[in-house]
Amino acid sequence: MLYKVVGIQHLTGNDYKTGTPYDYFRLHCVVGTRSNDVRGQLVETINVYRNEFTTDVNSINPDDFLDVTFRRVGKKAALEDFVLVDSSNN
């Protein structure tokens, strides 16, 4: 599914319940291909853990388009792969 990145957060710290450290990127994305039609659309969050796709995540910027593939893990969907389709840096 094609997503347009509208924001990126880098989250690090320790889980307050278990104390385990976390380090991941949260991509705020909207579904669609039109770059100027963001208003009124649902913004979805995609969590990318740093140990899975570190090199790819660092190259993503707002206004880039990603082709994202998910897989089912129980009742949740987990990120399987993503490809940078169109970059605003080119």
Total number of domains in the chain: 1
What predicted TM-score, i.e. pTM, was given to this entire model?
0.69
Q: For the segment 7-46, what is each residue's pLDDT rounded down to a tens digit?
A: 888 889 998 899 888 888 888 888 865 555 555 667 778 7
* Domain with 67 in it: 2-86
Q: Which helix (H) or strand (E) holds 65?
A: strand 65-73
Quickly state the pLDDT bin for 66 (edges 50, 70, 90): confident
Euclidean distance between CA atoms 8 and 86, whole angstroms: 16
Euclidean distance between CA atoms 36 and 85, whole angstroms: 17
Query: Taking the CB of residue 33, how many other CB atoms lie within 10 A of it?
Result: 11
Please report, to the nearest 10 degrees, the dihedral formed by the alpha carbons of residues 63, 39, 72, 24 taken in order.
50
